[in-house]
Amino acid sequence: MTLRIGNCSGFYGDRLGAMREMIEGGQLDVVTGDYLAELTMLILGKDQLKDPSLGYARTFVRQVEDCLGLALESGVRLVANAGGLNPAGLADKLGEVARGLGLDPAISHVEGDDVRAIGFANALTANAYLGGFGIASALTAGADIVVTGRVTDASLVVGPAVAHFGWTRTSYDELAGAVVAGHVLECGAQATGGNFSGFLKLNRTRPLGFPLAEIAADGSSVITKHDGTGGAVTVDTVTAQLVYEIQSTHYLGPDVTTHLDTVELAQEGADRVAISGVRGSAPPSRLKVCVNELGGYRNQAEFVLTGLDIDAKAAWVREQLGPVLTCDTVAWTTPSAPAADADTEEAASVVLRCTVQDPKPGPVGRAFTAATVEIALASYPGFTMTAPPAQPTPYGIYRAEYVDRGRVEHTVVHADGTREVVADATDFGTDDPGRGRRPSPYPAPTDTRTRRLPLGTFVHARSGDKGGDANLGLWVAHESPVDRGSLNMTGRARPDKFREGPTSSLYDRRVTWLTKLITPQKVRELIPEAADLEIDVYNLPNLGAVNVVIRGLLGAGVAASTRFDPQAKGLGEWVRSRLVQVEEGLA
C-alpha cells in the first residue's frame, strides 16, 4: 500500500531535466512539482499584465512535452501547482502539447483560489491557499495530470495520499504526516543537501538528487532519493527542510493543523530517514491569502570604495547625493573597512550601495542615475561603480491576509469538463498558531571553562523568508547516523521510542545548551539589525532545534526589501559564524 511520491521542482526555474530524472530513476506513483512562491505570484501577475493568456509556469510545459509519453508508459501521475494564476490556461496548453505528441492524457485542474473579487479588487494578485482534497478528487476520477493554482506546497503530496489511502477530512494524524512529508519534498534538493550547512560531508561528485517519499497508510513516511544520485538524505538534511520557513510549533494548513513538536525522525539506513509520530488537529476556520500589490519603482547604484578613509569616502557620496535625490525612499548600506595591506585591489575594496524607491518611475529613473554619474569626477578618489546606470524596475509589496473559508469555492474541473465544488471541512481549530515560548537565558556556571567559538561549531542552520518576516532554524548537528548504526532523532539506539528523562549524552547536553542560549535577547545580540524588532523563539525538542521568527526584518517582503539579503537565505550562515561562549565539554 506504500505510495511513492517524488518531487521534480522546488521553484520556478529549478533544474529542467529533473522530471525525466525522477521518472527514469526508479519506481514512482506520482511526481510533484512546486513552482510557486510569494515572489513567483508577483512575477506571474506581471506576465498577465502583458498577456492575459499567461500567468502559469511555462517551464512545466516544456517538462511535460519532454516526459509525457514516458510518464504515461510508466504509470506515473503528474501533480503540480504550475497553474499559478491561470490553471485553466495551463491545462489547455498541456492538452495542445499532448495532441501534438499524439497522446490523450486525462488533464484536470483545480481553481477557486483567486479571491480578488471578494475584497481584494485593487490587488495585482490575491490567492487563497487551498488544500489537497481537490487534487485527490481529480486523481480519484482518473486524472493523469493535475495542475493547480495556489494550493499549499504540501498539498501536492497530501492530495495524492488522500486519493490513495481514502483518508477523510478528520484523519488528522494521517493528514499531518502527509503535510510533513510534503514540506520536506516541496523545496526539491534542499532535502538532499542543497543549501545545507553540512555540505562539506556531502557527495558532490554528481548533481544532487531530488527527494522522494514512501508514504504509509498511517501517514508515516520514509524520505529517500534515487540510487546513484548526488547528495544525501540524513536526519540533518531532513531537519534542515523541516525547520525552513515555519512560524511556530503549530503549522496551520487548509486541511489540518500539524503539530511540529511531535515529529520524530530516525535514520533507517543510507539515504533513508523515517518520519513518524506526527499528530494533527482540526484546521483553522480561515484560509491564508497571498496578496501582491504594485508598490512602485526602484533603482540601485553601487559605488566601489578602495583603500584608506573608507568611512570618509562613503560619507562624502551621501553628502553629495542626499540633497539632490527626490525619491520617496533612499537606503544606504554601511560598508566595513577592507583588510589592511590587501594583496589585491579587489580585497582592498568595499561596495557602498544606494537603493531608491518611489511610487513613480521618474524620481528613480534619470533623476537618480544622472545624479550618480555627474559626481564621477568631483567626488572621492578612485570613484568607480560596479555597473552603468540602469532603468528603474517595478516592485511589488506582499502581505498576508485571511478570509473565511465559506467565501472560497474550491473547484475541480475534471478532464471531461465537469466542474465539482470540493466539500470543505466542518470542524475547525484555532486560527492562532501561538506566540513563541521564550526559554530563560543560559546561566554559564562560574566553575565551567568556556571557549569563544563560532555557533556553527556543532549547530546547523537554515533560514528564509515569510513575507516581511525572517525565519531562522537552528539545530544541533548529529554524528553520521549511518556510520554509527541505526539511530533515532536524539542519537540514541533504535528501534525503541525515546527514553524518558534527561540523559548525559553529548548530543542531549548540546541541545539543552542551544535551547537555553537562543532567547530573543541573544538573537538581538547575534543580529544587531534586529535590535528593535519583535522576535519569537520556539523549541522543537524532538528535532533538537529552535525556530526563530524575526518579525519585520525584511520590510514589505522580498520584492520590496532593500536589505542586502532580501530573502534571508544567508542569515543562518551569518549567525553560525558569530562567536558565542561554549563550555569546553560541549566543544
Confidence of residue 440 (pLDDT cuts 50, 70, 90): very low
Cell of 211: 527527494
187-207 pLDDT, tens digit per residue, is: 999 999 999 999 998 989 999
CB-based contacts of 51, cutoff 8 Å, min separation 6: none
Quick one: which of 261, 242, 226 has its CA closest to 187? 242
Cell of 238: 531532513
Is the domain spanning 297-397 CATH 3.30.70.360? The answer is yes
Residue with cell 524575526: 550
Residue 493, pLDDT > 90, answer no
Q: Give bridge partners of residue 332 from the DSSP assignment.
A: 354
Strands 145-148 and 107-111: parallel
Q: What is the DSSP letter of 99?
A: H
Q: Distance from CA of residue 370 to its chain's centroid?
A: 38
What pLDDT is stored for residue 501 in this prediction? 34
What pLDDT is stored for residue 434 in this prediction? 60
CB-based contacts of 571, cutoff 8 Å, min separation 6: 463, 470, 472, 527, 565
Residue 585, pLDDT > 70, answer yes
What pLDDT is stored for residue 435 in this prediction? 52
What pLDDT is stored for residue 479 in this prediction? 65
Is 104 strand, coil or helix? coil
What pLDDT is stored for residue 518 in this prediction? 97
Look at 81 and 468; give whichever has higher pLDDT.
81
Residue 581, pLDDT > 80, answer yes
What is the average pLDDT value for the chain, to the nearest integer? 92
Q: Distance from CA of residue 323 to its chain's centroid?
A: 40
| Residues 108, 109, 112: CA angle, nearest 5 degrees | 150
What pLDDT is stored for residue 448 in this prediction? 67
What pLDDT is stored for residue 498 in this prediction? 29
What pLDDT is stored for residue 487 in this prediction? 34
Cα gap 89→354, rounded to integer Å: 41
Residue 172, pLDDT > 90, answer yes
307-364 pLDDT, tens digit per residue, is: 999 999 999 999 999 999 999 999 999 998 898 999 999 999 999 999 999 999 999 9
Mean pLDDT of 168-178: 98
Phi-psi region of 321 (alpha: psi -120 to 50; beta: other; left: phi over 0): alpha
Residue 490, pLDDT > 60, answer no
538-569 pLDDT, tens digit per residue, is: 999 999 999 999 999 998 887 788 788 889 99
Residue 144 · residue 106 · CB < 8 Å: yes
Residue 25 · residue 70 · CB < 8 Å: no
Mean pLDDT of 84-108: 98
102-118 pLDDT, tens digit per residue, is: 999 999 999 999 999 99
Cis status, amide bond into 495, omega within 30 of 0: yes
What is the sign of the dihedral through the CA atoms of 336, 342, 343 and 346?
positive
HSE-CB for 417 with a 13 A CA cutoff? 0
Residue 442, pLDDT > 90, answer no
Residue 360 · residue 299 · CB < 8 Å: no
Burial of 102 by CB count in 10 Å (0-12 exposed, 13-18 middle, 19+ buried)? exposed
Residue 445, pLDDT > 50, answer no
Quick one: which of 503, 516, 527, 515 has its CA closest to 444? 516
Residue 60, pLDDT > 90, answer yes
Q: What is the pTM assigned to this prediction?
A: 0.90
Task: List the single range of 432-436, 445-449, 522-526 with lowest mean pLDDT.
Answer: 445-449
What pLDDT is stored for residue 433 in this prediction? 65
Domain boundaries defined on the chain: 3-290+400-421, 297-397, 450-583
In this structure, the number of other CB atoms found within 10 A of the CB of residue 317 comes to: 20
